[in-house]
Amino acid sequence: MMDTDILEMLNEIGRSSVARLNPAVTVPGDTAMARREKVLHAIRGTILPRRLEFTAANGDCLAIEVNSSRVTDVFRVPSGVAPDFETELRQDLAVKLAQLVTDIACAPAPLQLISLQPDTALEADDVGITFSEIEASCADMEQPVEPVISIVDASPESLKPTEETPEADSTDTLAQRFFDGAERFAQGRVLITDGAALLADGACKDGEPLHPKPDLLASFARDLARWDDDTANTMDHPQLIVIRPSGGKGTGLAVLNDGTNAALAVHEARKLGAVVNLWAALKRPDG
């Protein structure tokens, strides 16, 4: 960024600054295209480390970590799973970030922005994806349009299974979908049914360092069963159980208990946001 760009940015901030009591500000724009430009402008104008949360009228939220006009992490996305900055290619990250910016801009207005302090200090190697890369990827996408509201027949007759809309496969459990979705961020995964490992992957495969022994899984299944008995009157299924080390660094464990099966994901503690995003996606009506 050139010195003249910084001076121009500071000058614009000085002209547009107003006193306010609410930490949230409305992102201006009558169209999705205009709001996307303002979201990009907010990223470009963020020099010090901040957590920017964009929330639409329907509750969709995009929470990102920005520093020096670069996106260094994604904590929450409107739908799906957050991109993984550790494993994905830079050009793929730029495209995914552009899509996330476009998605939140297309969500129902008004769009609110809150700027917060980051939860943790940035690592020295967190170079992130630059504003210019995201803007270029946005330019390659189709122009965002306003969402169209359709009236859907929700009568009992319309919800009956047909040849075109078969009944859901009973074996496609929530635990199975959590196991599948955790592949993006987990170091190791295990799908447990009847106290035994049905599937194991990554560092939890047979012969790998985190492979659980059968007696350990059986004990864990008994503990979950007792947990279900103790919480039966206060909590229903599904349940997400998260175990994190003190300080938020190291290895964490996420367990999805759907009441029948359980899925375990061993992950880096700092990837808790990806766990929560997967959980939120599965909890949606179409998850």
The verdict on 133 and 189 lying in the same domain is no
Q: Give per-residue pLDDT as tens, 40-57.
A: 999 999 988 899 999 998
Q: Give per-residue pLDDT as tens, 190-209.
A: 999 888 888 999 999 988 88
The verdict on 28 and 107 lying in the same domain is yes
In a domain, 161, yes or no: no
Q: What is the DSSP string of the chain?
A: --HHHHHHHHHHHHHH----SSS-EEE--SSHHHHHHHHHHHHHT--S-EEEEEE-TTS-EEEEEEETTEEEEEEE-SSS----TTTS-HHHHHHHHHHHHHHHHHSSSPEEEEEE--SSPPPTT---EEHHHHHHHHHHSPPP-PPPP-----SGGGGS--SSSPPPPTT--HHHHHHHHGGGTEEEEEEEETTEEEEEEETTSTTSTTPPPHHHHHHHHHHHHHHHHHHTTT--S-EEEEE--TTS-SEEEEEEE-SSEEEEEEEEGGGHHHHHHHHHHHHSTT-
Reading the block at residue 139, the tokens are 């330019």
Residue 177, pLDDT > 50, answer yes
Q: Give per-residue pLDDT as tens, 96-144.
A: 999 999 989 988 889 999 998 876 666 655 678 999 999 999 988 766 5
The verdict on 200 and 279 lying in the same domain is yes
Average pLDDT over the chain, rounded to an integer? 80
In a domain, 2, yes or no: no
Reading the block at residue 57, the tokens are 């009228």
Instruction: Determine the structural domain holding residue 264 and report its residue range.
Output: 174-283
- CATH code assigned at 230: 3.30.450.30
The verdict on 123 and 217 lying in the same domain is no
- CA dist 81 and 96 (Å) reads 11
The verdict on 189 and 133 lying in the same domain is no
Asked if 184 and 274 count as a contact pair (C-beta separation under 8 A), the reply is yes
Tell me how long the chain is.
287
Give the distance between the most distant pair of CA atoms in the chain.
Answer: 67
Q: Give per-residue pLDDT as tens, 45-93.
A: 998 889 999 999 888 899 999 999 999 999 899 887 888 888 889 999 9
In a domain, 169, yes or no: no
The model scores a pTM over 0.85: no
The verdict on 51 and 135 lying in the same domain is yes
Q: Report the domain count for the chain.
A: 2
The verdict on 116 and 180 lying in the same domain is no
In a domain, 153, yes or no: no
